[in-house]
A and B are shown apart, each in its own frame.
Chain A
Amino acid sequence: MFTLTGLEHRYGAVTALRVPEWRAERGERWLLAGASGSGKSTLLNILAGLLRPSAGSVVVGGQDLGRLPEAALDRWRGRNVGYVPQRLHLIASLDVLDNLLLARFLAGLSVDRGAAAKLLASLGVDGVASRTPDRLSQGQAQRVAVARAVINRPALLLADEPTAALDDSSAQTTIKLLSEQADAVDATLVVASHDGRIRSAFARRYDLEPA
């Protein structure tokens, strides 16, 4: 599904990330492990096409991201990547349903309220469709953020430290949720985390060494 080779990223003179090689196939679930500061977020940003690496190649779904010009990369990201940021970052000015529809709109896809409502229902949060994010519980907000990440049926689903602020049972629920949703759209799942509690949930793991 994606292949990283000879990847390096530097901030100024400091090398923050080094990935000699990493291959993943469609539908696989990966844990991206490593201590704080090992470059997990940087790598996720590179996979999402938000950051261009200093060196090396990133091929996702047969597409060499390094060859895509800026605007095409934005369009590619909108249709192929679902991203669940650590702090969720739901848009506070829009209600839950509109947060989902925004993802459709910005990716240039048809804005279908019915389909978005159905997705919310499948995640058990259809009851809060017309609420603004500040009136959601942590669990509801996370489900909405996952719904927003998968509404465009991405090939790649990325999550950054999704369990950092959660208790044990919520952490397990969250990983289950991400796995189910990745399966539902046949996406490759990459969860960046240094949380030891969720290691057992992943068959595949890529360990980042401090560069």
Chain B
Amino acid sequence: MNLVGIAYAYARRSPLATVLNLALLILGVATVTLLVLLTTALDERLKHDAAGIDLVVGAKGSPLQLVLAGVFHVDVPPGNIPLAEVEALRANPLVRTAVPIAMGDSFRGYHIVGTEPELLELYGARVARGRIWKAPMEAVLGAEVARRSGLALEATFAGSHGLAERGSVHADAPYRIVGVLEPAGNVVDRLVLTGIDSVWRVHQHEEPGRASASADGHAREVTMALVRYATPLAAATLPRQINSETAMQSASPAYESARLLTVFGVGSEVLRGFAAFLMLAAGLGMFIALYQAMDQRRYDLAVMRTLGASRWRVCGVLLLESMLLAAAGATLGILLGHALLGLIGAWLPAASSLAFGSMRLLPSEAGVVALVLAGGILAALLPAWRAYRLDVAAMLAQGYP
């Protein structure tokens, strides 16, 4: 027998109302939690994927497209640039590394990227099994590609033409898997890496100009180059230099992803508003439930006063009940939010990299809990005030209605 026990007994007395209010609260909290987790994961993913890359250099077009294609691998690249230009970049003293990449094919939706082993350094990736590619048509799978495809070392596969999931298959030029990478927590997990000459070879017999080069070795082309500066000062001059002095354009992943987030931000603001609305509705529901409970319970509260409970104590019973409900709603809502993120990750392969955060708690979730508890107090204030003001003598003089 204590105040928690009393509050629990009352909650159990009207299970339907309790469960409905709790459900409303849980939904609101879960939505907010899911949003917080998703935006955090998205933000981190953008940062991780772009971590080692200061600048993307490619054909003229949209800089956002350049970054989306070359860094995040979620778009098609704008066009090709001559390999010779990349070599020229490498000679630039402002450039520490410039890694060429050649794209054009995909395997089960994962981009096949022709590149040089330096790319692994750029992303901090390491080989888990096997080795890196040496000869043409040797491929190394990112951790997620290997896991999802189930392909092992020495297995062969054919790339599909284009970056969409259903391109025609290059059955005449299969790749052989020579290595699998350790999970790196960034975009490399979702790539198939190979030598640039493999990509050229696959496209040898096709129309010129499409992510390829003519077989004679002249005017070899790649899709773009990923650049890391030698000095921070390069940020001030190198992009302008490339944009004005060459036929190429440069794009900063940091800047473009920030731009992307502001666009995406509008959507998440709307969702956040919706979640706030849900929580407000839950708070209102709690208020109505408590207010009605207060009405039904005036006699009980009056009896508690005759048994020696002070005014503050009867307020406390109502406040505590509201707080318990809020705490339960917050806890279960956060659990549900995490579970939902896990489910989304399991159902949508594209979101699986966002879902790996479903097992950890973020500091901002403590803010959600605090907000819900504050709402619980707020919802109980008026009923508690009425309990405080209760005229016990008048109450006992009346019978039940």
Contacts and interface: CB of A to CB of B under 8 A. Distances in A.
A98 B393 contact: no
B309 interface: yes
Interface string B361-392: 00000000000000000000000000000001
Contact of B396 (A50, A92, A93, A111): A50
A74 B1 contact: no
A98 B9 contact: yes
B32 to A, nearest CB: 32
A37 to B, nearest CB: 11
Interface string A89-118: 101111000100111111110010000000
A107 B306 contact: no
Interface residues of A, number: 36
Contacts of B10: 93
B311 interface: yes
Contacts of A160: 396
Contact of A85 (B2, B304, B308, B396): B396
B246 interface: no
A23 interface: no
Which one of B13, B312, B393, B399 has the highest number of Cβ atoms from chain A below 10 Å of its Cβ?
A: B393
A71 interface: yes
Interface in B1-32: 1-2, 5-6, 9-10, 12-13
Contacts of B308: 74-75, 77-79, 103, 106-108, 152
A206 B400 CA distance: 28
A89 B396 contact: yes
A155 B131 CA distance: 91
B168 interface: no
Interface stretch (A40-48, A120-128, A135-143, A195-203): A40-48
Given A105-B1, A105-B2, A89 B302 contact: yes
A177 B282 CA distance: 49
Contacts of B2: 105
B299 interface: yes
A38 interface: no
A87 B400 contact: yes
Contacts of B399: 86-87
Interface in A117-172: 148, 152, 160
A77 B302 CA distance: 13
B206 interface: no
B300 A89 contact: yes
A184 interface: no
Contacts of B307: 78, 102-103, 106-107, 148
A106 B309 CA distance: 5
A106 B393 contact: no
B310 interface: yes
Interface string B291-313: 00000000110111111111111
Contacts of B299: 87, 89
A115 to B, nearest CB: 13
B266 interface: no
A51 interface: yes
A78 to B, nearest CB: 2
B397 interface: yes
B393 A74 contact: no
Nearest to A145: B303
Nearest to A51: B393
B392 to A, nearest CB: 5
Given A87-B400, A102-B1, A74 B309 contact: yes
Interface string A51-82: 10000000000000000001100110111010
A86 B396 CA distance: 8
A106 B21 CA distance: 29
Interface in B332-367: none
B393 A94 contact: no
Given A91-B303, A94-B6, A104-B1, A74 B310 contact: yes
Contact of A45 (B12, B303, B396): B396
A60 to B, nearest CB: 14
Given A71-B310, A74-B308, A104-B1, A50 B9 contact: no
B124 to A, nearest CB: 60
Contacts of B309: 74, 78, 106
Contacts of A30: none
Contacts of B302: 89
A111 B307 CA distance: 14
A13 B305 CA distance: 27
B306 A77 contact: yes
Contact of B1 (A41, A77, A81, A111): A111
A111 B6 CA distance: 14
Nearest to A78: B308
Contacts of B311: 70, 74
Nearest to B306: A83
A127 to B, nearest CB: 21
Nearest to B310: A74
Nearest to B2: A105
A70 B300 CA distance: 20
23 contacts: A41-B396, A42-B393, A42-B397, A45-B392, A50-B396, A70-B310, A74-B310, A77-B308, A87-B399, A87-B400, A92-B13, A92-B300, A93-B6, A93-B12, A94-B6, A94-B9, A98-B1, A105-B1, A106-B307, A111-B1, A148-B307, A152-B308, A160-B396
Given A50-B393, A74-B309, A160-B396, 8 more contacts: A70-B310, A74-B308, A85-B303, A86-B396, A94-B6, A103-B307, A105-B2, A106-B309
Closest 4 pairs between A and B when the two form their complex, measured CB to CB: A78-B308, A45-B393, A93-B13, A101-B1
